[in-house]
Every structure is written in structure tokens, then in C-alpha cells.
């Protein structure tokens, strides 16, 4: 049982729910959900959820594989440096999850499968090379989340051409979280926190701007937007007052879990407040899992 839990910890279960929320948002953007939460194709919904779970889970497993030497010093409690999980087991698990994610995406369409394959390349590029770069690391991580949103939109491939730019919102948002996360071990940087503060603000302002599009109604998204702003700025402001690693970790955790609220905010604008609440329902479960498994 302890071994199973160790491998589950490698997969960051709470974070996987945030990836599923991306898919649900992408489906709303594409118009793949109708009144009364009636999905136009339940089979494709299932495969996209399986795909994103595999891709995200595999990505974070390989993150710990590539970080093993660093984690021996900075995060010795993690499954690999502590010996609770083996390196060979982690590699097999990560590869299986990534391969399974791409295979699941191809069950939807060639477009979905291609996006998933590109996402695997972006994930491994981040894990192996770019994560320690001050610019390319956050940008690369942001691209991973943007591509995950495109994966959701690809439930109706023809809609990707019209809504590709929606992937820029998670690029900016995840880049901000990644900047903040650089201080989880040594302590935060005021400069990084200031950049994150401004980038969060840009994300928030982009949502009412979508009201220019006829199929987005800001009024439905406003209650969700208030909750989103609180969840990201409350821990970030605490980190401004004290740059201790514990406060930085809280700011990162708040930002990661608030991804579900961001997705719910946008989903409500595209598909109504009931659908937004359905996406938001993932948040309590994510909080429960975050108490059992680390999110960073």
C-alpha cells in the first residue's frame, strides 16, 4: 500500500483535476456542450479526460525523474529521493501514462492525437531542459497548459481555428505561477512576485474583454471571477509581506488549485453558470487531494 501511495504522489492527483477542468473549458469554448449539461459526444469527452490525465500524470512523474539529484538535497521527502518509489518504476509509470494519453487522444481524432503528441514534446522539453531557464521555463510550462486547453477545444476540430487564442490565457497564467514557484526552496523574489501580480491582473482583465464575442456573456462569469481573484491574490499578498519558502509554497498551491476556478469562470461565460458550477465542483475534491498529496 505504501508503494502504491508513493507512485500516486508522483502523479500529483490534485493537479490532474485542474487538467480535466481545462478539457471541460475547451469543450465549452468549442460549443460541445448544450443546455442542461448535455455533451454532444460523451465518448469523446471520456477519451479527452483520459488523455489529459495521462499526459499530466506522466509529465509530473518525469519532472521528478529529471529532478532526482536536486531533490535529494532540496526535497528529500519526495518519493524518489526518499526511496519510497524506484527510478525504474517511475520511468515505466511516466512513459505508460504519456503513451496512454496520446493513444486516448487519437481515439477522438487525428487532430486531438497530434495535439497530445506535441504536448508530450513540450512536457519533456520542460522537464529535461527549460525548467531552470528564467524565461523559457515559465513560457514552456504555460505552453503546456495552453496546448491542454486546445486539446479540449479539439473535440470539435473545426473550432480550433476560431478559438486558438484562448490558449494564450493559460500561457500567461501558468507562466506567472511558475515564476512564483522559483522561491519554494530558497525563498521568494520580490521581482518575480511583482511580475506574477501583473500577469494575474492581465488574466483577470482578459475575461470581461471576451464580452466582445457574441457567445461569451461576462455576467455569468463575474461571481466566479471574484472567487478566482481572491484565491490567487490572498496568498500572493502574504508572500509579499514575508518571502519565506512556506508562504511561496502557499502562493503556488493557491495558484495551481485556482486553475479550476479560472476554467469555471471562463466556462460559465461560454456555456452558462450551471456549467460553470459543474466545473467548479472539481475544486472541493482537489482541495481534499491536495491535503493528501503535494501539488508542487
pLDDT digits (tens, 9 = 90+) for 21-68: 999 999 999 998 876 667 888 899 999 999 999 999 999 999 999 998
Domain count, the chain: 1
> 84 to each of 10, 42, 68, 168, 292, how far by Cα in Å?
10, 38, 13, 38, 16
Closest CA to 230 of 202, 258, 194: 258
pLDDT at 294 exceeding the cut of 80: no
Contact by Cβ (8 Å): 148, 27? no
* Whole-number percent of the chain with pLDDT over 90: 68
Which residues make Cβ contacts (< 8 Å) with residue 219, sequence separation at least 6?
none
What pLDDT digit, counting tens, does each position of 227-261 carry? Answer: 999 999 999 999 988 888 888 888 998 898 899 99
Which residues make Cβ contacts (< 8 Å) with residue 295, sequence separation at least 6?
12, 14, 15, 252, 253, 256, 257
Closest CA to 110 of 165, 162, 154: 154
Quote the CA–CA distance of 97 and 55 in Å, as a whole number. 6
Q: Is 39 helix (H, G, I), strand (E, B) or coil?
A: strand
What pLDDT digit, counting tens, does each position of 99-111 carry? Answer: 999 999 999 999 9
Give the DSSP H/E element, type plus range, for residue 162: helix 160-163
CB environment 217-254: b (16+ within 10 A), e (fewer): bbebbebbbebbbebbbebbebbbeebeeebbbbbbbb
Q: Tell me, what's the pLDDT at 185?
A: 54
Structural domain boundaries enclosing 129: 2-292
Q: Tell me, what's the pLDDT at 137?
A: 87
Cβ neighbours, 10 Å, residue 92: 12
Question: Which one has a higher pLDDT value, 3 or 197?
Answer: 197
Beta-strand ranges (E) seen in the chain are 33-34, 38-39
What pLDDT digit, counting tens, does each position of 150-187 carry? Answer: 999 999 999 999 999 999 999 999 999 988 887 655 56
Q: Is 34 helix (H, G, I), strand (E, B) or coil?
A: strand
Contact by Cβ (8 Å): 145, 171? yes
> 48 to each of 83, 111, 125, how far by Cα in Å?
33, 12, 22
Q: Tell me, what's the pLDDT at 190?
A: 86
What pLDDT digit, counting tens, does each position of 98-147 carry? Answer: 999 999 999 999 999 999 999 999 999 999 999 888 889 889 999 999 99
Which residues make Cβ contacts (< 8 Å) with residue 265, sequence separation at least 6?
207, 221, 224, 225, 228, 276
Check which CATH number belongs to the domain holding 166 and give it. Answer: 1.10.357.140
136: burial class by Cβ within 10 Å (0-12, 13-18, 19+)? Answer: middle
Amino acid at each position: 500500500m505504501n508503494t502504491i501511495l508513493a507512485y500516486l504522489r508522483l502523479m500529483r492527483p490534485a493537479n490532474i483535476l485542474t487538467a480535466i477542468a481545462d478539457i471541460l473549458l475547451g469543450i465549452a469554448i468549442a460549443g460541445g456542450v448544450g443546455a442542461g449539461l448535455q455533451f454532444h459526444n460523451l465518448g469523446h469527452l471520456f477519451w479527452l479526460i483520459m488523455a489529459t490525465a495521462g499526459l499530466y500524470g506522466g509529465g509530473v512523474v518525469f519532472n521528478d525523474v529529471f529532478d532526482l539529484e536536486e531533490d535529494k538535497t532540496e526535497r528529500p521527502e519526495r518519493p524518489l529521493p526518499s526511496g519510497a518509489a524506484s527510478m525504474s518504476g517511475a520511468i515505466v509509470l511516466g512513459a505508460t501514462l504519456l503513451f496512454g494519453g496520446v493513444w486516448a487522444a487519437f481515439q477522438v481524432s487525428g487532430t486531438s492525437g497530434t495535439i497530445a503528441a506535441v504536448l508530450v514534446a513540450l512536457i519533456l522539453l520542460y522537464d529535461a531542459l527549460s525548467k531552470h531557464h528564467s524565461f523559457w521555463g515559465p513560457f514552456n510550462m504555460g505552453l503546456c497548459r495552453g496546448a491542454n486547453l486546445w486539446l479540449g477545444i479539439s473535440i470539435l476540430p473545426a473550432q480550433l481555428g476560431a478559438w486558438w487564442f484562448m490558449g494564450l490565457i493559460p500561457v500567461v497564467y501558468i507562466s506567472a505561477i511558475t515564476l512564483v514557484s522559483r522561491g519554494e526552496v530558497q525563498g521568494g523574489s520580490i521581482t518575480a512576485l511583482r511580475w506574477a501580480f501583473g500577469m494575474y491582473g492581465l488574466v483577470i482583465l482578459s475575461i470581461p474583454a471576451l464580452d466582445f464575442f457574441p457567445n461569451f456573456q461576462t455576467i455569468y462569469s463575474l461571481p466566479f471571477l471574484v472567487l478566482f481573484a481572491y484565491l490567487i491574490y490572498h496568498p500572493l499578498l502574504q508572500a509579499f509581506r514575508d518571502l519565506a519558502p512556506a508562504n511561496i509554497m502557499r502562493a503556488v498551491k493557491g495558484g495551481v488549485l485556482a486553475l479550476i476556478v479560472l476554467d469555471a469562470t471562463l466556462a460559465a461565460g461560454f456555456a452558462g453558470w450551471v456549467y460553470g458550477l459543474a466545473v467548479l465542483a472539481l475544486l472541493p475534491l482537489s482541495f481534499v487531494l491536495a491535503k493528501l498529496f503535494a501539488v508542487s
